[in-house]
Amino acid sequence: MPCVCTSLLLARRGSPDRDDRDRSRERGGGGGGGGGRGPMTFRQFMNKQPDDLSPEEAQARYKDYLVDFHGGEIKADFVATKDQER
């Protein structure tokens, strides 16, 4: 049985309906919650990566992306609230 990431890589060129939903999410119509402020889904992330990326490298890059995204989000929240009384 293939791993999940391989299945997602193979499904990357999905149906036109699925592609329309992905484009809608990329424009801020969902895909992570928080009013469009959430991280990209794995599929959205993969659409921005080269086609010859191995599944292992894809997972590693997505993990790095999430760490960077959430780290930046935490820092932005800290800067915005650092002067507030608790």
The per-residue pLDDT for 15 is: 46
Calpha distance 31→42 (Å, rounded): 10
Could you tell me if 28 and 15 are in contact, meaning their C-beta atoms sit under 8 angstroms apart? Answer: no
The per-residue pLDDT for 37 is: 77
Q: How do residues 21-72 score in pLDDT, each as one tens digit?
A: 555 444 444 444 444 678 999 999 999 999 999 999 999 999 999 999 998 8
Q: How many domains does the chain have?
A: 1
Domain that holds residue 41: 4-81
Residue that is written with structure tokens 């329309």 in the block: 20
Is 29 inside any structural domain?
Answer: yes
Q: Report whether pLDDT(9) > 90.
A: no
User: CB under 8 Å to 10, separation ≥6 — which residues?
Assistant: 2
Is 20 inside any structural domain?
Answer: yes
Residue that is written with structure tokens 């780290």 in the block: 71
Calpha distance 56→61 (Å, rounded): 9
